Amino acid sequence: MTLKITTWNVNSVRFRIDLVAKFIKAARPDILCLQETKCPDDQFPLKRFRRLGYEHVALNGQKGYHGVAILSRVPFETSGNRSFCDKIDCRHVTATFGERAGLKDPITIHNLYVPAGGDIPDPDANPKFAHKLSFLDEMRDCTDVHVNGNARSILVGDLNVAPFEHDVWSHKQLLDVVSHTPIECEKLVAAQKAGGWIDIMRELVPEPTKLYTWWSYRSPDWKTADKGRRLDHIWLAPALADRVSGVAIAKDARGWAQPSDHVPVTATIEV
């Protein structure tokens, strides 16, 4: 059985629902994980998604900010969410797929939206950056989002850190820029390793090849400048790492009318 799993910071699901539909019709993912939905659960465009074939939905949203969702063509057994840093700010949702999805061995998916961290890379001067660092520490220490034993688990999302030198357009110029500062990179890699995860994008496309999933709205010509960062990630448990047939970054979506600054990233996994 093949599963296609997409992660995408959509930057308002209601505003960009037509772009989401356009992507879905072209890529046909089985499971779609969205971040920054900016939508209370009772206002989520469920009818549109059901018409598109996504009958099974796990939501954790709020008005105007943050928010995550898992939308699936196949049923899941259970779903839930947890808070980080003692804040109820809708940054995590999880779902476990099993017999109802036709799987002999279950798969658990975690969808995360790590705080962006503001513009000043100083936790003393910038509470948003302090929150981000604390969130990454909690990811590292939280067994709820770790691979447990031989479990078949997947962690996706906008993790808001480009951890490696070739995950940004200029390593030297971005060392003091939030999302690529050494402390953020160290903390994200520590969370990955402590959780037992494999960064499958970098397993399949090792450095020094550049990989980007985000291009700033501030660039007047994002495509020509190509000053991107890899902020969106797919991590797999070791039990699934050798089952990935490919990962696709839908860069063309950044050029659509009124796009998100992030683009969809899709992994194809033989389960």
Instruction: Report residue 19 as tokens.
Output: 């772009």
Instruction: Spell out the residues 6+ positions from residue 112 whose beta carbon is closer than 8 angstroms to its own.
Output: 35, 68, 91, 92, 139, 145, 155, 156, 157, 158, 159
Ramachandran region, residue 102 (left: φ > 0; alpha: ψ -120 to 50; beta: rest) = left
What is the pLDDT, as a whole number, of residue 207?
A: 98
Q: Are 54 and 77 in contact (CB under 8 A)?
A: no
Sketch the domain layout of the chain as residue ranges. Answer: 2-270
Instruction: Report residue 89 as tokens.
Output: 């700010």
Residues 233 and 235: their CA atoms lie apart, in Å, by 6
- Using the predicted structure, report yes or no on whether residue 219 has a pLDDT greater than 90: no
Instruction: Report residue 118 as tokens.
Output: 């503001």
CATH code that applies to domain 2-270: 3.60.10.10
Residues 67 and 247: their CA atoms lie apart, in Å, by 24
Question: How confident is the model over 246-255, as pLDDT tens digits?
Answer: 999 999 999 9
What is the pLDDT, as a whole number, of residue 83?
A: 97
Specify which residues 2 forms β-bridges with: 270
Burial 5-21 (b: 16+ CB within 10 A, else e): bbbbbbbebeebeebbe
Instruction: Tell me the residue length of the chain.
Output: 271
Ramachandran region, residue 191 (left: φ > 0; alpha: ψ -120 to 50; beta: rest) = alpha
Place of tokens 């779609």: 32
**For helices 182-194 and 127-141, angle between their N-to-C axes, nearest 10 degrees:** 20
Q: Report which of residues 197 and 149 the model is more confident about.
A: 197
Residues 118 and 97: their CA atoms lie apart, in Å, by 35
- Using the predicted structure, report yes or no on whether residue 220 has a pLDDT greater than 90: no
- Using the predicted structure, report yes or no on whether residue 75 has a pLDDT greater than 90: yes
Question: How confident is the model over 225-258, as pLDDT tens digits?
Answer: 999 999 999 999 999 999 999 999 999 999 999 9
- Average pLDDT of span 13-38: 98
Residue type at 36?
A: E
What is the pLDDT, as a whole number, of residue 129?
A: 98
Instruction: Spell out the residues 6+ positions from residue 74 whose beta carbon is closer than 8 angstroms to its own.
Output: 3, 30, 31, 56, 97, 100, 101, 102
